[in-house]
């Protein structure tokens, strides 16, 4: 158990000499940027009826037969993203990447805040809410914050007039193969010395598994979350705390000379 004033002495000791790290994040890392999480107290799905409606709106089948409904929810998520700024957790993760020999970030977040904070080797497995592609001709696009704030209904492709869709993974869709391949290369072939998971309920197996595998393979594993999750029993350290408070401590421990 961590004291927020600092990290346990034996954890600090085990961090010595670490040169490669993998970080896995979810919505909780953006909570301190003011972006609502999906599950748990105050989450988007907290109200069951509203949650079910949101999941249905964000599904591939709804995009197909009622794109306006999908875009109403996507536009709201996009507006929250462009109105938010990276918090100390995002900056700590970028600082770790800049200072360690090998670093990879696997994120479920579509808000773009990790890249805004300077993270580069990012596997954004669910995509980015500002990116779009045309459902008919495949043309790629990216909304500016101003375009997002002015978004009304379904946007159409400037090239062919087809429906533009968010270049994010909707419920019922497959994950992008290239990103799954990268995830396997980074976390399975030769797991980093240290794997840290923060701010996620890890409900998806492809998010829980990499850190469980790392733990089984003898790597150091850390979870940062105010609540216990399904991965808590499978990590060496499960730190009860906020990402914005604990991750800077870990970055300081790993990057200070
Ligand atoms: N610091 C760290 N963790 C936090 C914080 C914080 N300040 N605040 C909340 N949390 C934790 C919660 O305890 C919870 O475990 O963040 C987690 C958020 O979980 P979810 O809302 O389920 O978000 P996530 O795990 O990212 O969801 C995964 O589900 O709906 C889909 O595609 C969506 O990417 C999302 C995926």
- Is 35:27 a contact under the CB 8 Å cutoff? yes
Round to whole Å and give the CA distance between 221 and 47: 33
Band of residue 3 on the pLDDT scale cut at 50, 70, 90: very low
Q: Tokens 């705390």, residue? A: 241
Closest ligand 1 atom, residue 44 Cα: 21
pLDDT exceeds cutoff 50 at 61: yes
C-beta of residue 180 within 8 angstroms of C-beta of residue 205: no
Res 43 pLDDT > 70: yes
108 pocket-lining for ligand 1 (C-beta < 6 Å): yes
Q: What pLDDT is attached to residue 46?
A: 84
**Contact status, residue 155 vs residue 131, Cβ threshold 8 Å:** no
CA distance 55 to 243: 26
* Complete domains list, the chain, with CATH: 1-35+86-126+174-257 (3.40.50.1220), 37-83+130-168 (3.30.1600.10)
Beta carbon of 240 within 6 Å of any ligand 1 atom: no
Q: Which pLDDT value is given to residue 147?
A: 96
Q: Encode pLDDT of 17-42 as tens digits.
A: 999 999 999 999 999 999 999 998 88
From the candidates 65, 126, 184, 234, which is the catalytic residue?
A: 126
Ligand 1 contacts CB of residue 197 (under 6 A): no
Residue labelled with tokens 């914005």: 244
Mean pLDDT of 105-114: 98
pLDDT band, very low/low/confident/very high, at 51 (cuts 50, 70, 90): confident
Question: Across residues 194-199, what is the average pLDDT?
Answer: 98
Task: Please tell me the residue having the least CA distance from ligand 1 atom 9.
Answer: 28
Summarize the confidence of residues 229-251 as an average pLDDT: 97
Q: Could you identify the atom of ligand 1 that is nearest to the CA of residue 171?
A: 32
- Indicate which residue's Cα is closest to atom 15 of ligand 1: 201
Check pLDDT > 70 for residue 117.
Answer: yes
Please say if 126 is a catalytic residue: yes
User: What average pLDDT is seen over the chain?
Assistant: 95
pLDDT at residue 40 in the model: 81
* Model pTM above 0.85: yes
pLDDT at site 227: 96
Whole-angstrom CA distances from 141 to 82, 99, 161, 163, 251 are 16, 33, 13, 12, 35
The predicted pLDDT at position 256 comes to 83
Distance 136 CA to ligand 1 centre (A): 33
For residue 52, name the pLDDT band (cuts at 50, 70, 90). Answer: confident
pLDDT confidence of residue 5: 52
C-alpha of residue 108 to centroid of ligand 1, in Å = 9
């Amino acid at each position: 158990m961590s004291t927020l004033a600092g990290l346990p002495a034996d954890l600090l000791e085990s961090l010595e000499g670490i040169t490669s790290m993998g970080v896995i994040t979810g919505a909780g890392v953006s909570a301190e940027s003011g972006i609502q999480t999906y599950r748990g107290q105050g989450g988007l799905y907290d109200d069951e009826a509203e949650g079910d409606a949101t999941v249905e709106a964000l599904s591939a089948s709804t995009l197909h037969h009622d794109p306006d409904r999908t875009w109403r929810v996507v536009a709201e998520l996009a507006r929250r993203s462009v109105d938010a700024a990276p918090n100390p957790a995002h900056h700590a993760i970028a600082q770790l990447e800049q200072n360690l020999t090998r670093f990879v970030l696997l994120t479920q977040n579509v808000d773009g805040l990790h890249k805004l904070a300077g993270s580069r080797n990012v596997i954004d497995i669910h995509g980015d809410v500002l990116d779009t592609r045309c459902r008919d001709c495949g043309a790629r696009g990216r909304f500016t914050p101003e375009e997002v704030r002015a978004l009304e209904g379904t946007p159409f492709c400037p090239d062919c007039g087809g429906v533009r869709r968010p270049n994010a993974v909707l419920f019922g869709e497959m994950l992008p193969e290239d990103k799954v391949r990268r995830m396997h290369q980074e976390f399975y072939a030769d797991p980093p010395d240290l794997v840290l998971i923060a701010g996620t309920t890890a409900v998806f197996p492809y998010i829980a598994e990499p850190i469980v595998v790392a733990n089984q393979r003898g790597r150091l594993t850390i979870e940062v979350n105010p609540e216990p999750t399904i991965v808590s029993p499978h990590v060496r350290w499960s730190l009860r705390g906020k990402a914005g408070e604990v991750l800077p401590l870990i970055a300081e421990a790993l990057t200070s000379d």
